[in-house]
Amino acid sequence: MIPTPGDEVAAESAHVPPDDPPLRALMDGNFLSYASYVIRDRAIPALEDGLKPVQRRILHALQRQDDGRFTKVANVVGDSMKFHPHGDASIADALVGLTQKGYLIEGQGNFGNIFTGDPAAASRYIECRLTELARREMFNEELTRFVPSYDGRNKEPVVLPAKIPLLLMMGAEGIAVGLSTRILPHNFGELLEAQIAILQNKPFDLRPDLPTGGLMDAAGYEKGFGKIRVRAVIEEKKTVAGTIVVREVPAGTTTDTLIASIEEAARKKKIRVSSIDDFTAEKVEIEIKLQKGEDPKKAIAALYHFTACEQSISLRPIVIRGERPVEMGVDEILRANTGQLVDTLQRELELGRTKLQEEIHAKSLARVFIENRIYKDIEKCETLEEVRQAVLSGVNKFRRELRRDVTADDVESLLQLRIKRISLFDLNQNRREIADAVKALAETESNLASLKKYAIGYLKNLLKIHGKRFPRLTRIVTFGETDARELATKNLAIAYDKTRGYLGWDVRGDGIEAAFKCSELDRILVIHSDGRYRVIPPPEKLFVDRDVIRFEVFDRDQVYTAAYASRAESYAKRFIFGGTILNKEYTCIPEKMRFHFLHGGAPERLYVKFREYKLKAGQRKAPKGARGPEKQTIMVADLPIQNPKVRGTLLSERDIESASSVRPRGWPEQIETEPTRANEPGLGPLFGGAED
């Protein structure tokens, strides 16, 4: 069968991969849904109650079964899973974290140790319950909006009506899809005092308070943004010489990680330690014995610089507000929480006012019904409707004594009164209860009329009850800057084998002695006779060639004095090496020249003797520039300080025979000459560049 042109086109198109926009749209939509879910429902806390969804479900499960007694954590985990299919391990970990913070959940048993990093016991062995602070300040079912759980069998809260700034109290960390948050915890009392300042329109200033204590430099802390530096608390042990003790660890570390970092620094010989003993239990106590002769103060400074005893923590406060992630500073968060507190207190007062009004109405209605024997009017009624109408007509005669109109529900409540209550009704007690309710209603109305004042009083009462339970743990100080090279132990002896051309701290041989000692943090400057130089880390054993004329610890600001020459000309200059790239080779004198003098400093004079100019074939006399004095005494202070690329000051058009900063024997006293020319055109900086 012969294919038609249409069949050929169809066959060709069959090999082209189909473009499937619906599949891409499905992938894009699913990814966005997943990202939104992780951000809103897992990783980022809500602004209103400071909780992530799993934490909120744990608290809701505890509140539903709360009777004041401890409950197995395993049971709480199971109850929490009724609201969302979290994994049991993730729920248990979140519950342990809440318990360790100490604000909302009280634990009984082994809930781990934040200092050592030890994990909690299995959830079947430990118990927990809500704290009094959580019971009073986190829950109110009448003010909470509930939504169905994932399977529709239960209801869970959207957010809890928190009356405390829980987000800033506990802090939060979370990593979502393309988004992360880190909010440090703050001190409970300081937060409430700041809320009072907000309500009084006064300024306030907040600094984090970390649960592990330690020292903190908050110079870079900008209202929740920026970063802070935290340190361990280290002190000398007065009873044992040469021993220091770590009393508190910085946030983000444990005693295990801290000891590991100290051991690593000791292996690298950055700190000389004899032994490390960990006696941590309820409090941190790490005892460090130093090697004999070590200065404890210098050792403490080295611990801060080379180990995990000092940490830098970067911050980014992101919260969920209105179902969206937003970046908010600490002051913005606290102002929002304070506004929420006022709103919640107002709603509670309004709810209480309604209840008091209903209580006064109900008690007044019962008094009218019993005191005026209205119940006798129903004896002649034959139907239920006639009974209801008789009660309604009877109590309406005393409408002026009631708070509002009588409803059908009121009539039903009167018909539910038992004969025993009617016969034992105490009129005087009823009037006292009504008077108490009226007094409470008047107080509620007064509080509603001055909400800010009421909120301030509420916060002050919280401070009075709970403030002493949560003292500040982290001390705010300013850290001084330390030079790592000053702290590092100079334990590397650098030697140079000129015969074989090796340089390093492992260079050995007969007659080879170390030139100097340095630390691993130092850098070594190596200069060759032809002007090549480079800066390198202290090598173990490195081939650098046999023409090295100077090697020393690099100091970028050190001034050097040099005299160098070729057969045709000679120069002198003062210069500094300045900044360099590690292991990169540079040149500090022109090509085909070599050093005759190099001094790491500024001698007073430089004594230079030139070689006699030798006439070339056909020359009758030497050039003018080569007929200068045989010797020159140069005042070094007259040479400008330049960068190493500059050619320098021309001394003569002859080679140098010798140069020294020490006056040679027999040197004429009257030869006090200045350099002839300095940086003439054509004799300027190397590589055609201008002087830096």
Catalytic site positions: 125
**Token pair of 517, please?**
């000692």
**Token pair of 166, please?**
């829980």
CA distance 150 to 83: 6
492 within 8 A of 505, measured Cβ to Cβ: yes
Sign of CA pseudo-dihedral 340, 344, 349, 351: positive
Other C-beta atoms within 10 Å of 221: how many? 21
Integer distance in angstroms from the first to the last C-alpha of the chain? 85
Query: By C-alpha distance, which of 43, 67, 58, 46 is closest to 99?
Result: 58
Strand, helix or coil at 200?
Answer: coil
3-state SS record for 340-400: HHHHHHHHHHHHHHHHHHHHHHHHHHHHHHHHCCHHHHHCCCCCHHHHHHHHHHHHHCCHH
Amino acid at 400: R
**What angle do the packed helices 408-415 and 330-371 form, to 10 degrees?**
60
Strand, helix or coil at 573?
Answer: strand
Per DSSP, the residues of 467-499 read GGGS---SEE--PPP--HHHHS---EEEEEETT
Query: By C-alpha distance, which of 505, 548, 545 is closest to 529?
Result: 548
Strand, helix or coil at 210?
Answer: coil
Maximum CA extent, the chain: 159
CA distance 605 to 672: 10
Amino acid at 489: T
Question: What are the respective helix, strand and coil percentages of the chain, to the nearest 5?
Answer: 35, 20, 40
**Token pair of 509, please?**
């041989």
Sign of CA pseudo-dihedral 185, 190, 195, 200: negative
CA distance 183 to 316: 7
CA distance 142 to 442: 22
521 within 8 A of 265, measured Cβ to Cβ: no
Other C-beta atoms within 10 Å of 517: how many? 15
Query: By C-alpha distance, which of 128, 149, 159 is closest to 82?
Result: 149
